Amino acid sequence: MALRYLANVVTLQLDEAACVGCGRCAEVCPHAVFAIQDRRARIVDRDACMECGACARNCPVAAISVDAGVGCATGLLNRALGRKGDCCCSEERGNECTTTK
């Protein structure tokens, strides 16, 4: 069962005119957000994007932009309250998140 998160919230943008069709974005995306059609990348499932930033980081022509970050309420609350710790990867919680993010 594919889990779906909120609709129409993600910051992912693709400049299709700048795309060279290398296919890296489709290769690295863990949620099949991209498809290569007519030798150009297309966003085919924007709402599945989790904003990990892998596509933008690996795009050789910087055609993709996304406000990448970890979708973690604990981390965002800590940041809002001026506390340290960015979610499961923080010092406090060590290496405990092993299987996912």
Partner 1 sequence: MVRVRLGFSRMAYGMTPGLYAMGTPTPDSPVLVTANYKLTVDVLRRELGGRDLWILVLDTANVNVWCAAGKGTFGTAELVGRVAATGLAERVTHRQLILPQLGAPGVAAHAVAKETGFRVVYGPIRAKDLPAFLDHGELATPEMRRIGFPLLDRLVLAPVELRHYLVPMLVVALVLGALPGIIQGQAGELVSAGGHGIAAALATWLGGCLLGPALLPWLPGRAFWVKGAGLGAALALLLAAAGMVQGLLPILGGVLWIGAGVSFLFMNFTGCTTFTSQSGVKAELRAVPGQIVAGLAGLALWSLDWWR
Report the sign of the C-alpha dihedral through residues 54, 67, 30, 64, in that order.
negative
**CA neighbor of 73 nearest in space, from 91, 85, 58:** 85
Which member of 19, 43, 63, 88 binds partner 1 (CB under 8 A)? 88
Q: Find the shortest distance in angstroms from Cβ 94 to partner 1.
A: 9
Which member of 41, 52, 63, 64 binds partner 1 (CB under 8 A)? 52
Is residue 69 within 8 Å of 57, Cβ to Cβ? no
Residues 12-31 touching partner 1, rule: CB under 8 A, are 24, 27-31
CA 91 and chain centroid, separation: 23
Structure tokens at 64: 């993709």
Which member of 17, 82, 84, 95 binds partner 1 (CB under 8 A)? 95
Residues at the site binding partner 1, with contacts judged by CB under 8 A: 1-7, 9-11, 24, 27-32, 48-54, 57-58, 60, 67-77, 80, 86-89, 93, 95-101
